[in-house]
Structure 1
């Protein structure tokens, strides 16, 4: 079980790092900027999570495997042959990234809940849900802010909402079916919701402002 979770976490980290690196390339950043944006997206949510629950220094720096994976992924994306393929095969890239990103969102959300359970004596639903969502979405928010964009999760698609619903499912099932089953069902629900949202173009309502 732990080996499977680790593999899925690596997949999610790679997907997050690619999204950050591609945005850096689109913003005409150099290789350092692309690497930092990929790194921030890959591990940013986990760092915020650890600061909230009191893991100091953050686990990313205690076991830097995800940090290294994020940087290597970003450098690979920056290579001319890879970035040319990404921007040429747009549809295939977007489909692949949707799958990997959805898996990463699901895994990191429930991983954040597990970390909060293990690191604090406060198991209130608000704290656990917040830590779960921030672990899944925090890196993307930091990425967009560093790139000068409005955070993606606030303006497009059913993203943070899927993370929140999956987090709540995981929390409510935690003591009923055990942490393994709760994490599996929580992560699966997030992946399914993300894929359904992308297929059916689900978005939250937006306010209509009068024309000036």
Structure 2
């Protein structure tokens, strides 16, 4: 189980690191900026989560594997051939961003809930959902703020709401479906909602003058 969770987390780390790196590339940042944006996107949500749970120092600073994987993903994307391929095809870039963000969101939302259960065995559903969503969207929020953009979670399709729904399902199923079943159900729901919202152009209501 621990090995599976580690692989699960590393896939999410690569996904979020890639979305951060691609944002940096799109903003014409240098290699340092691209790496920092990738690292922040990949581990930012987890750092916020650990601070909320009192799990200090945060896991990212106790085990360098997550930061190492995030930086490696950023360096691969910074290679000139890969960079030209991404920037040359706008459709490919947008699809890659969507899938990286979606995969990272689904994985880290449920990983956040698992971490909350590990540190607060009698956690309320509210705490579980809050921590799950923060873990899922925190890195992307920091990425967009550092890149000078309106945070993605406020303007693009159904994003934080998908994380909220997945976190709620994962938290409610935990004692019935077990750790594995609840995480797969919650993460799968996040990804499903994101895919459907993109396909059918679902968006939350916005204020209009």
TM (norm. structure 2) is 0.93
2:171 corresponding residue in structure 1? 171
1:11 and 1:100 in contact (8 A); partners too: no
Q: What is the CA–CA distance in structure 2 between the aligned matches of 1:5 and 1:193, rounded to whole Å? A: 23
Equivalent positions of 1:48-67 (< 5 A) are 48-67=48-67
Q: What is the CA–CA distance in structure 2 between the aligned matches of 1:131 and 1:168, rounded to whole Å? A: 11
Cα deviations by residue, 1:33-84 (Å, 9 ceiling, x for unpaired): 1110110001111111111101111001111111111111112222211110
2:141 corresponding residue in structure 1? 141
2:126 corresponding residue in structure 1? 126
**Is structure 2 residue 184 aligned with structure 1 residue 184?**
yes
Q: What is the CA–CA distance in structure 2 between the aligned matches of 1:77 and 1:50, rounded to whole Å? A: 28
128-137 or 22-31, which moves further after superposition? Answer: 22-31
2:114 corresponding residue in structure 1? 114
Q: What is the CA–CA distance in structure 1 between the aligned matches of 2:18 and 2:177, rounded to whole Å? A: 35
60-69 or 25-34, which moves further after superposition? Answer: 25-34
- Residue 138 (structure 1) shift: 0.2
Change (3 A) 1:10 1:94: farther
Q: Give the RMSD, CA atoms, in angstroms.
A: 1.6
- Residue 96 (structure 1) shift: 3.9
DSSP 3-state at the match of 1:55: coil
Q: What is the CA–CA distance in structure 2 between the aligned matches of 1:122 and 1:52, rounded to whole Å? A: 16
17-26 or 44-53, which moves further after superposition? Answer: 17-26
2:31 corresponding residue in structure 1? 31
Q: What is the CA–CA distance in structure 2 between the aligned matches of 1:110 and 1:51, rounded to whole Å? A: 17
Q: What is the CA–CA distance in structure 2 between the aligned matches of 1:55 and 1:158, rounded to whole Å? A: 30
2:19 and 2:100 in contact (8 A); partners too: no
Equivalent positions of 1:36-115 (< 5 A) are 36-115=36-115
Q: What is the CA–CA distance in structure 1 between the aligned matches of 2:8 and 2:100, rounded to whole Å? A: 9
Change (3 A) 1:177 1:139: same
1:8 and 1:104 in contact (8 A); partners too: no
Q: What is the CA–CA distance in structure 1 between the aligned matches of 2:34 and 2:154, rounded to whole Å? A: 23
- Residue 189 (structure 1) shift: 0.7
2:14 and 2:42 in contact (8 A); partners too: yes
- Residue 167 (structure 1) shift: 0.4
Q: What is the CA–CA distance in structure 1 between the aligned matches of 2:2 and 2:96, rounded to whole Å? A: 24
TM (norm. structure 1) is 0.92
Alignment gaps of 5+ in structure 1: none
